[in-house]
Amino acid sequence: MTEHLNHFIEGASFEASDGRRINLVNPVTEQVYGSSAQGTTEDVDRAVAAAHRQLEGGAWSQLDGAQRGQLLSKLADLVERDTELLADMDANAIGRSPIEPRRMDLPNAIANLRAAAGWANQLEGRTIPTGGYFGTKTLSYTVREPVGVVGAIVPWNSPLMITVWKLAALLAAGCTVVIKPSEETPQSALHLAVLAQEAGFPDGVINVVTGYGNEVGRALCEHPLVAKISFTGSPEAGREIQRTAGVLFKRVALELGGKSPQIVFDNASFEDALRGCALGLFANQGQVCAAGSRILVHRSIADRFGAALADAAQAVNVGDPRQPGVQMGPVAKKAQFDRVNRYIQLGIDQGASLLAGGVSTPERGWFVRPTIFTNANNAMAIAQDEIFGPVGTLITFDSEEEAIALANDSSYGLAATVWTTDLVRAHRVAAAVKAGAVGINCWSPLDANLPWGGVKTSGIGREGGFAGAVAYTEEKVITVLLPS
């Protein structure tokens, strides 16, 4: 079946204003299976205007927090009802096994919507004691107001889950939104908008404009009526967005990439660490922002651990993820396939040794063999750059201090994992590692109530948890003079 996807603006479907379209390509077969509207500045303008109307006297602006919460709750139920469909949409678009989004992305998205339903009427202000106004007493209090229209720009690796992280929090805060999904994965965002309409959200609160980053994404960043850009994606695009939005004083949240260390101490549970490292390397073909792609291992266990990890890599069944028994599909797109192979070749050229995998040359489909490097050092490109594929780099250390120094010797700081049975050491290392999230004996736990985000090149701001909803508000202070 050929998919023909359009924008969703103010509750209706629209072609691009100039009729252009973007082909959707199946990463398993490399065949075109449909197309989506290639959004224009005019399309963005139409969507932003609709979102703005809802804030300026529209039906949405009349709802209180409890009513917004009820709508979010209903949306959560509808997403739960359509779990399989949404998981299939995301999985098919990037060649991922649908089992992963069914088990991980969808439950997380539903939990986020339910949590946000509770946050919607808890965004309280404060009463603040003051020194009065030129000798007269005053009462000062604050209220939390929605920041305004949000431009939500989303990547392709976990499209629905990341869209919902933004959507749930901004709706709880009373904002409206124009979502720009990745050009590879517009399906689930469009379906989510239709579900929101079914739940009873007024038309215009949630709009989706499909298209390219340098057209739709840029138009959102430059639009005078967009108050905040919430972006998840690469540092390169994040930098450009920050620059554009900065000139216009827009609020910006940036969830960017990572090169997250998994630190394996000699007293770690070997099997647990092995399973966790394999998961952190190979889940979603390694196309995970928190992928634990730098494996820092204590020298005394490095050979045994490397060999076991290589066995795990070789045991991964790579193929069409729709076939039974297949654990890993292709990477999402040709550019990603080329990038991953380029880095594998660079690793070899810079002197690292392959324990498993290598450059892939499949006949058809963008399949990459799970790859493990050893004899690497932290200065190599395969240790410093985010590859975003199933490639792990093993680096050895001799002491806790060295492990921490290696972990922090990175421009990124998104996540880290510490594997050890010595809990005092675990907490000491967790405190010393510069990252937005540290897992102790577990790789990348996600929860609707936990904040998520990075330091350094991994981004600015946090999503998730109650503070994630607060981030979509402005605190306004009101002072009244109280003459006696």
> Which are the catalytic amino acids?
255, 289
Cβ nearer to ligand NAD, comparing 214 with 314: 214
User: How many chain residues interact with ligand NAD (CB under 6 A)?
Assistant: 31
- When asked if residue 391 is in the footprint of ligand NAD (CB under 6 A), the reply is no
Cβ nearer to ligand NAD, comparing 146 with 151: 151
- When asked if residue 256 is in the footprint of ligand NAD (CB under 6 A), the reply is yes
Cβ nearer to ligand NAD, comparing 193 with 355: 193
- Cα distance between residue 467 and residue 225, in whole Å: 24
DSSP string covering 240-303: HHHHHHHHTT-EEEEE-----EEEE-TTS-HHHHHHHHHHHHHGGGG--TT---EEEEEHHHHH
* Contact stretch for ligand NAD (CB under 6 A) within 99-107, 227-235, 302-310, 474-482: 227-235
Cβ nearer to ligand NAD, comparing 257 with 365: 257
- When asked if residue 100 is in the footprint of ligand NAD (CB under 6 A), the reply is no
**Measured from the CB of residue 235, what is the shortest distance to ligand NAD in angstroms?**
7
**Measured from the CB of residue 182, what is the shortest distance to ligand NAD in angstroms?**
4
Cβ nearer to ligand NAD, comparing 336 with 374: 336
Contact 453, 435 (CB under 8 A): no
DSSP string covering 166-204: HHHHHHHTT-EEEEE--TT--HHHHHHHHHHHHHTPPTT
Q: Which residues from 457-476 bind ligand NAD, rule CB under 6 A?
A: 459
Please list, in sequence order, all residues whose beta carbon lies within 8 angstroms of the beta carbon of residue 139, skipping any fewer than 6 positions away: 127, 479, 480, 482
- When asked if residue 68 is in the footprint of ligand NAD (CB under 6 A), the reply is no
- Name the DSSP letter for residue 449: T
Cβ nearer to ligand NAD, comparing 53 with 166: 166
Give me 144's structure tokens. Answer: 């939390």
- When asked if residue 218 is in the footprint of ligand NAD (CB under 6 A), the reply is yes
Q: Which residues from 395-414 bind ligand NAD, rule CB under 6 A?
A: 414
Cβ nearer to ligand NAD, comparing 3 with 266: 3
Contact with ligand NAD (CB under 6 A) among 156, 201, 337, 443:
156
* Contact stretch for ligand NAD (CB under 6 A) within 156-164, 319-327, 346-354, 474-482: 156-164
Contacts by residues 335-341 (CB-CB < 8 Å, ≥ 24 positions apart): 336/287, 336/366, 336/388, 336/389, 337/366, 337/368, 339/387, 339/388, 339/389, 340/286, 340/368, 340/387, 340/388, 340/389, 340/390, 340/391, 341/368
- When asked if residue 37 is in the footprint of ligand NAD (CB under 6 A), the reply is no
Please list, in sequence order, all residues whose beta carbon lies within 8 angstroms of the beta carbon of residue 193, skipping any fewer than 6 positions away: 8, 179, 206, 207, 208
User: Greatest CA separation found in the chain?
Assistant: 85
Contact with ligand NAD (CB under 6 A) among 155, 306, 329, 357:
155
Contact 469, 119 (CB under 8 A): yes
Show the beta-strand stretches assigned E in 302-370. 353-356
Give me 80's structure tokens. Answer: 């739960």
Based on the number of CB atoms within 10 Å of its own CB, is 271 exposed (0-12), middle (13-18) or buried (19 or more)?
A: exposed
CA 99 to mean position of chain CA atoms:
19
Contact with ligand NAD (CB under 6 A) among 113, 202, 255, 365:
255
- When asked if residue 167 is in the footprint of ligand NAD (CB under 6 A), the reply is no
- When asked if residue 386 is in the footprint of ligand NAD (CB under 6 A), the reply is yes
Give me 381's structure tokens. Answer: 């490109």
Q: To the nearest 10°, the Cα dihedral for 373, 377, 383, 385?
A: -130
- When asked if residue 237 is in the footprint of ligand NAD (CB under 6 A), the reply is yes
Nearest to 263 by CA among 458, 456, 424, 399: 399
- When asked if residue 27 is in the footprint of ligand NAD (CB under 6 A), the reply is no
Contact with ligand NAD (CB under 6 A) among 34, 69, 186, 233:
233
Q: Which residues from 282-301 bind ligand NAD, rule CB under 6 A?
A: 289
**Measured from the CB of residue 222, what is the shortest distance to ligand NAD in angstroms?**
9
Contact 329, 337 (CB under 8 A): no
* Contact stretch for ligand NAD (CB under 6 A) within 48-56, 152-160, 264-272, 476-484: 152-160
- When asked if residue 259 is in the footprint of ligand NAD (CB under 6 A), the reply is no
Contact with ligand NAD (CB under 6 A) among 15, 88, 222, 240:
240
Which helix (H) or strand (E) element contains residue 162? helix 159-172
Contact with ligand NAD (CB under 6 A) among 232, 262, 378, 420:
232
**Measured from the CB of residue 384, what is the shortest distance to ligand NAD in angstroms?**
14
**Measured from the CB of residue 141, what is the shortest distance to ligand NAD in angstroms?**
35
Cβ nearer to ligand NAD, comparing 217 with 439: 217
- Cα distance between residue 238 and residue 243, in whole Å: 9
Q: Which residues bind ligand NAD (CB under 6 A)?
A: 153-157, 162, 180, 182-183, 212-214, 217-218, 221, 232-234, 237, 240-241, 255-258, 289, 386, 388, 414, 454, 459
